[in-house]
Amino acid sequence: MRYIIIIIFFAFIGEVHAENRISDYNNIGWYTTNITPRISKRFSGHLEYQWRRNNWVTEWQQSLLRAGVNYKLHKQLTVHLGYGWILTYPYGDYTASAVAKTFPEHRAYAQLQISTPIEKVSFQHRFRIEQRWVGKYKSITSDSPDEWVSLQRVRYMPRVDVPLHTKVYAAAFDEIFIGFGKNVGENIFDQNRIGALLGYKFHPVFRAEAGYINQTVQLGREINNSNVFQYNHGLVVNTYLQLD
């Protein structure tokens, strides 16, 4: 219950600071591949690529590559450490960067995932903290970032999976992002993602799911003394491959 109160509290903060706002609406498509090679009884690797598109599929939104390692402390508790390499492209009417260029990001992160099954229904709680180094351009003519800005962010995502058949399941999730640290801009409330999915287990080691995602993003800068919010909605497709 306290996690729900925290989410509502930070969402309220975002609304209060966004009384004067500019809204930007986009259609997105996120297509993700997750590969988990098992190393030992407790250790496993993690390799993930997300092909994120704007206008459903025709334009770039983001390219995101993650690699990491999992350690199972308990059958219901897993610790994960990882690294991400991200490219964010200029998209929409108001770009994330003040200079409309593709900018890079290095990201180190740690997460804790808790599984709390109730009979056949699976409940998961994912807590993640991120240290980000974001490349910043000062001019459209710059060939490489003029500086790297250090940013911190925490994320919390509850998810529920409900079996509908032997191989079919439905899932829903909501993830809140909160920025903190000396370099945080307007977006202490960074973003929120909510989605609903339908999945199919093709094989004990392979499954896929697809559905709807709604992403609300607050930019870290103001335009004409107004906060800028992106309202992105669209399609998400995830595939999972577990290798013994």
Q: How confident is the model at residue 48 (pLDDT cuts 50, 70, 90)?
A: very high
Q: Is the pLDDT of residue 1 over 90?
A: no
Residue ranges covered by each domain of the chain: 2-243
Q: How confident is the model at residue 16 (pLDDT cuts 50, 70, 90)?
A: very low
Q: How confident is the model at residue 2 (pLDDT cuts 50, 70, 90)?
A: low
The candidate with the shortest Cα–Cα distance to 231, out of 213, 243, 244, is 213
Q: Is the pLDDT of residue 5 over 80?
A: no
Q: How confident is the model at residue 115 (pLDDT cuts 50, 70, 90)?
A: very high
- Per residue, the 3-state secondary structure of the chain, as one string, reads CHHHHHHHHHHHHHHHCCCCEEEEEEEEEEEEEEEEEECCCCEEEEEEEEEEEECCCCEEEEEEEEEEEEEEEECCEEEEEEEEEEEECCCCCCCCCCCCCCEEEEEEEEEEEEECCECCEEEEEEEEEEEEEEEECCCCCCCCCCEEEEEEEEEEEEEEEEECCCCEEEEEEEEEEEEECCCCCCCCEEEEEEEEEEEEEEECCEEEEEEEEEEEEEEEEEECCEEEEEEEEEEEEEEEEEEC
CATH top-level class of 2-243: mainly beta
pLDDT at 158: 98
